[in-house]
Structure 1
Amino acid sequence: MKKTMSISKVWIEDGCIACGNCEAVCPEVFFLTDHSNVKEGVDFGDFEAGIKQAAEECPVEVIKYE
């Protein structure tokens, strides 16, 4: 069985329009102020599906992860 690496880093690039979608999709990882932010101290591996969904649904494609 092939083990895939879990997400270890999430960030928001310049250009966020603060639509709130990422926070709605995955509030465990994202929060909104005047733009989207990533919470510190979160085990991103626990929320991979939400992170990937938020990135895919971001209208300006500024959510990145690795």
Structure 2
Amino acid sequence: MKAIVDKDTCISCGLCPSICPDVFEFDDDGKATAIVDEVPSEMEDTAQEAADSCPVSAISVE
């Protein structure tokens, strides 16, 4: 499973790193980014929760 953040859509609200800090953090540009190439299996549900919680739907988890 892979998490992808659309930086053009991201509004830096902070929900994704607060929900799933093992997968998301803010980059130097102030936008969220996925910090893992593959979401660990034990974090898949939490990563999906972060994606579902994004107010602008900037995150896809595939």
TM-score band (shorter)? 0.7 to 0.9
Superposed, 1:40-59 pairs within 5 Å as 40-41=36-37, 43-59=39-55
- Greater than 6 Å deviation, 4+ residue runs: none
Superposed, 1:1-66 pairs within 5 Å as 8-13=1-6, 14-33=8-27, 34-41=30-37, 43-66=39-62
CA RMSD in angstroms comes to: 1.4
Distance 2:37 2:4 in 1: 13
Deviates more, 1:24-33 or 1:40-49: 40-49
Report the number of matched residues.
Answer: 59
TM-score (norm 1): 0.78
Structure 1 residue runs of 5 or longer lacking an equivalent are 1-7
Please tell me whether the aligned partners of residues 9 and 44 of structure 1 are also in contact (alpha carbons under 8 angstroms): no
Aligned partner letter, 2:17: E
- Structure number, greater radius of gyration: 1
Aligned partner letter, 1:9: K
Structure 2 residue runs of 5 or longer lacking an equivalent are none
Please tell me whether the aligned partners of residues 17 and 23 of structure 2 are also in contact (alpha carbons under 8 angstroms): yes
